């Protein structure tokens, strides 16, 4: 089974175009199930419905969140679909397993005031400061994922139209936009900061460090940069690159942007995924209503 798993991982990478992070989760989820089968003397190629239900019970007993259980079952469903398509099993038993009900967790975001404080924190008179300010601007201006940010190449940017070509999940391309404030810091970084960081070395990527001349900055490095800026800005919230993506979507909806437009800008394949942001927007509308309507105001 381990040999088949290696072929499956290669398939996810070469044919499905999944990110390294997603592929790693698939691998860990499947290995966990393979180990479970070994410990319980189950044949992975001849599973029954009850075998899988017993595995689910084990996951629930370990107090995994519904989101984690859903991911594990989805990983196994895709893997066993691959086995079925390659005539290695007679049926994909995981397609009969229902996923647990999703927990409704509202996305976290920061306010306009906090955006201003945070974005004024980097010292843009220095190369590092110019780069760090650009990281913030791009994440908030375009709503891109941190991995998408790190993979932007100079050839993806259209300075005239203020657009960037993004290669998202599943190798799906989309065009994102940025505004005049981001344009100014981008041009400053390209003229000054980036050249100083690279010390005249060539690098196809936009966001670079001073120690990896031919590679982009890693997603972990971006997370640490933002952690440091949050601490310096004295913002009492946990802010990650994904929180800036949430902030982008929430602020657009609060300003009246159509949810279908937000969906396309975020690169979501389903409107259901984007729908989570309407809860935040509706909660704001509810507060405004309760604070404003004569018969709704709190006594």
242 is catalytic: yes
- Cα–Cα distance, 214 to 95 (Å, whole number): 44
277 is catalytic: yes
- Cα–Cα distance, 99 to 95 (Å, whole number): 10
Catalytic pick among 72, 133, 194, 245: 245
CA 259 and chain centroid, separation: 19
- Cα–Cα distance, 20 to 27 (Å, whole number): 10
- Cα–Cα distance, 104 to 111 (Å, whole number): 21
- Cα–Cα distance, 299 to 296 (Å, whole number): 9
Catalytic pick among 77, 165, 242, 279: 242
169 is catalytic: yes
Query: Residue 165 has which token pair?
Result: 């070509």
Catalytic pick among 108, 153, 169, 213: 169
In angstroms, the Cα distances linking 234 to 118, 151, 267 are: 9, 29, 32
268 is catalytic: yes
First to last CA, the chain: 66
Task: Count other C-beta atoms under 10 Å from residue 236's C-beta.
Answer: 7
> In terms of Cα–Cα distance, which of 7, 35, 47 is closest to 23?
7
Active site residues: 145, 169, 242, 245, 268, 277
């Amino acid at each position: 089974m381990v040999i088949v798993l290696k072929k499956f991982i290669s398939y996810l990478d070469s044919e499905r175009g999944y990110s390294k992070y997603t592929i790693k989760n698939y691998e860990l989820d499947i290995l966990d199930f393979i180990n479970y089968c070994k410990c319980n003397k189950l044949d992975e190629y001849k599973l029954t419905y009850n075998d899988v239900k017993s595995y689910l019970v084990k996951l629930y007993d370990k107090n995994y969140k519904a989101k984690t259980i859903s991911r594990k079952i989805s990983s196994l469903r895709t893997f066993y679909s691959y086995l079925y398509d390659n005539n290695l099993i007679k049926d994909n038993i995981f397609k009969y397993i229902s996923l647990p009900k999703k927990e409704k967790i509202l996305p976290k975001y920061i306010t306009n005031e906090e955006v201003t404080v945070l974005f004024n924190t980097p010292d843009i008179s220095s190369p590092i400061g110019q780069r760090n300010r650009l990281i913030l601007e791009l994440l908030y201006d375009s709503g891109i994922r941190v991995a998408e940010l790190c993979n932007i190449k100079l050839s993806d940017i259209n300075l005239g139209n203020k657009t960037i070509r993004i290669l998202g999940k599943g190798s799906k391309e989309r065009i994102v936009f940025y505004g005049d404030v981001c344009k100014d810091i981008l041009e400053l970084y390209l003229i000054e900061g980036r050249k100083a960081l690279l010390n005249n070395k060539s690098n196809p990527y936009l966001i670079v460090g001073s120690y990896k001349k031919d590679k982009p900055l890693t997603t972990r490095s971006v997370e640490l940069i933002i952690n440091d800026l949050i601490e310096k800005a004295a913002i009492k919230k946990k802010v990650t690159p994904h929180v800036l993506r949430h902030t982008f979507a929430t602020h657009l909806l609060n300003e009246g942007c159509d949810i279908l437009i937000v969906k396309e800008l975020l690169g979501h394949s389903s409107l259901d995924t984007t729908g989570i942001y309407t809860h935040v927007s509706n909660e704001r509308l509810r507060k405004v209503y309760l604070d404003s309507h004569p018969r709704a105001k709190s006594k």
